[in-house]
C-alpha cells in the first residue's frame, strides 16, 4: 500500500491537533512558510495541506492576518420546540428557539404573489400556475449569512394579509394563518445534505468544500390541508439539527 502523500500527513497532524484541543478555536495555524521549514516540503505541498483543512471547515484564512482554527459556535436548530404552538401562538418568532439570545436579522427580503413553481404546486394541492404568496429571504446571525429560505403559501389564503407584507407581525406567518382559521396543527420536515450551487455558495459566503443542509418544511392545517411549503438552505457548518420527542 503506497504511503500517504506528504500534504496528507501534514493535514493529519494539524487536524489531530485541532480535534484534540492542542490548537483551540482562534489559535493561529502554522502558515505555508512555517510548514515548509518544519516538514522540509515544497510550498505547493504546504498549501495543499492547509487547503485540505479549509475544505473540512476546520481553519479559516483572515486576509492580512494569517490562518486560524475556525471558531464554531453552533446554531442549535431545535426542530420540535421551534414549531410548537406555544412558541408562535404566543407571539414569539420561531427563530427565538434557536439562537440563545443571539441576534438574527434579514438583509434580503422579497415578498409578493407569483405563479407557483411546478414542483411546489402538488405539495400545496394547487393546479399548475396557481398563484402563491412567496417570501424569499436571507438570514444572518452575528452579521454572517447562515440560511436562505423561500416559502410558498396559497394566495387564496395568504393574499391580502400581513403574510404578504414584509413584516408579518408577532408570531409570524403561523400566527397570521391562525387568524384566518388555517393555523398549522402538523408539520413534516425533510432533510438532505449536498454541495451548494454557485449562487448558494456566494449568498452564504461558503468556502470550498462547505456543504449545505436542505430542509423542506410542509405545514398542514386541520383536515390535512397544506398551507405552506418552506425550502431552507442552511450553511451546514454553522448548524446543529436537534429534535426531541417522547419514546
pLDDT at 214: 97
pLDDT at 99: 60
With beta carbons less than 8 A apart as the criterion, state whether 32 and 38 touch: no
Q: What is the DSSP string of 61-119?
A: EETTTEEEEPP---EEEETTGGGSHHHHTTT--TTHHHHTT--EEEEEEEEEEEEPPTT
pLDDT at 81: 66
Cell numbers for 176, please give them: 397570521
Pairing, β 59-62 against β 186-194: unpaired
* pLDDT per residue rounded down to tens, the chain (247 residues): 677 899 999 999 999 998 898 999 889 999 999 999 999 999 999 999 999 888 777 888 887 888 899 876 777 777 776 666 666 566 566 666 666 667 788 888 999 999 999 999 999 999 988 999 999 999 998 888 999 999 999 999 999 999 999 999 988 999 999 999 999 999 999 999 999 999 999 999 887 778 999 999 999 999 999 999 999 999 998 888 888 777 7
- Cβ-in-10-Å burial (0-12, 13-18, 19+) of 216 comes to middle
Nearest to 233 by CA among 190, 207, 208, 196: 196
CA distance 160 to 69: 49
In the 8-state DSSP scheme, what is residue 7? H
pLDDT at 245: 76
pLDDT at 97: 61
Nearest to 46 by CA among 69, 26, 22, 30: 30
pLDDT at 230: 97
With the C-alpha atoms ordered 205, 207, 98, 26, is the resulting torsion angle positive or negative?
A: negative
pLDDT at 70: 82
Domain 75-242 is found in CATH 3.40.1410.10: yes
H or E element, residue 190? strand 186-194
Q: Where are the domains of the chain?
A: 6-69, 75-242
For the domain made up of 6-69, the CATH class stated in words is: mainly alpha
Specify the pTM.
0.76
Amino acid at each position: 500500500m503506497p504511503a500517504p502523500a506528504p500534504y496528507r500527513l501534514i493535514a493529519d497532524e494539524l487536524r489531530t491537533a485541532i480535534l484534540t484541543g492542542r490548537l483551540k478555536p482562534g489559535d493561529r495555524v502554522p502558515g505555508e512558510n512555517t510548514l515548509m521549514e518544519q516538514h522540509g516540503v515544497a510550498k505547493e505541498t504546504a498549501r495543499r495541506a492547509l487547503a485540505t483543512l479549509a475544505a473540512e471547515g476546520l481553519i479559516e484564512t483572515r486576509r492580512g492576518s494569517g490562518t486560524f482554527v475556525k471558531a464554531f459556535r453552533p446554531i442549535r436548530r431545535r426542530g420540535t420546540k421551534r414549531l410548537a404552538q406555544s412558541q408562535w401562538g404566543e407571539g414569539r418568532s420561531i427563530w427565538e428557539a434557536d439562537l440563545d439570545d443571539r441576534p438574527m436579522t434579514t438583509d434580503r427580503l422579497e415578498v409578493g404573489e407569483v405563479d407557483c413553481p411546478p414542483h411546489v404546486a402538488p405539495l400545496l394541492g394547487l393546479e399548475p400556475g396557481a398563484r402563491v404568496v412567496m417570501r424569499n429571504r436571507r438570514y444572518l446571525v452575528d452579521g454572517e449569512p447562515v440560511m436562505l429560505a423561500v416559502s410558498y403559501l396559497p394566495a387564496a389564503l395568504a393574499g391580502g394579509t400581513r403574510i404578504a407584507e414584509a413584516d408579518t407581525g408577532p408570531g409570524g406567518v403561523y400566527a397570521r394563518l391562525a387568524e384566518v382559521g388555517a393555523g398549522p396543527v402538523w408539520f413534516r420536515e425533510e432533510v438532505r445534505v449536498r454541495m451548494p450551487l454557485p449562487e448558494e455558495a456566494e449568498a452564504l459566503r461558503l468556502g470550498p468544500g462547505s456543504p449545505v443542509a436542505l430542509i423542506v418544511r410542509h405545514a398542514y392545517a386541520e383536515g390535512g390541508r397544506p398551507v405552506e411549503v418552506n425550502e431552507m438552505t442552511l450553511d451546514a457548518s454553522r448548524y446543529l439539527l436537534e429534535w426531541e420527542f417522547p419514546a
